Amino acid sequence: MPNMVNSSPRVVLVGPPGAGKSTIGRRLASALNLPFVDSDSLIEQGEGVACGELFAELGEPRFREVEAGYVARALATGGVVSLGGGAVLTESTRTLLQRHPVVWIDVTAEEGIRRTAGDTSRPVLKADDPAAHYRNLLTTREPFYREVADHRVRTDSRPPQRVVAEVLSFIDS
């Protein structure tokens, strides 16, 4: 469990599956010499099961309720916080995010599909037509990402260090 320092996060990362939130978050935390908190990791530690398994077991509505509690805990820590791709679907989470600097780590549908292809740990992406499902997921969630984000960064064809530099510029401005 990360050290709970009871302060606001320096930055919160949101975005779809495969956008690179965890990769960028870890690198940002390292650059800032701050802790990195991933809400999905908190869920896995707290519930003793992988997020994908919990999602499949509980179903999406109940999973989102459980997730909201872990997101609130993550947002009570200092450092860099990465939220699960669907966390923004929950109204209480969107309300909490109003108090924090939020960066939308974004990816095109094509790149997101490529990055998540064959990833069996994400039941939210399981479908007969994974590409169509991913596109639909982006269409459904985009208004929520747009609502909570203070800044948007695309990760397609960009090395992580360039994305990190852009986020650092945003949070230092």
Query: What residues are designated binding site?
Result: 18-23, 40, 64, 85, 122, 141, 158
Kind and range of the H or E element at 49? Answer: none
Distance CA 140, CA 56 (A): 20
Question: Any residues with CB less than 8 A from the CB of 97 and at least 6 apart, and which?
Answer: 12, 14, 75, 88, 148
Per the annotation, where are the binding residues for substrate? 40, 64, 85, 141
Q: Which two tokens stand for residue 140?
A: 């459904």
Per the annotation, where are the binding residues for ATP? 18-23, 122, 158
Kind and range of the H or E element at 52? Answer: helix 51-58
C-alpha 70: how far from its chain's center?
13
Distance CA 79, CA 4 (A): 10
Per the annotation, where are the binding residues for Mg(2+)? 22
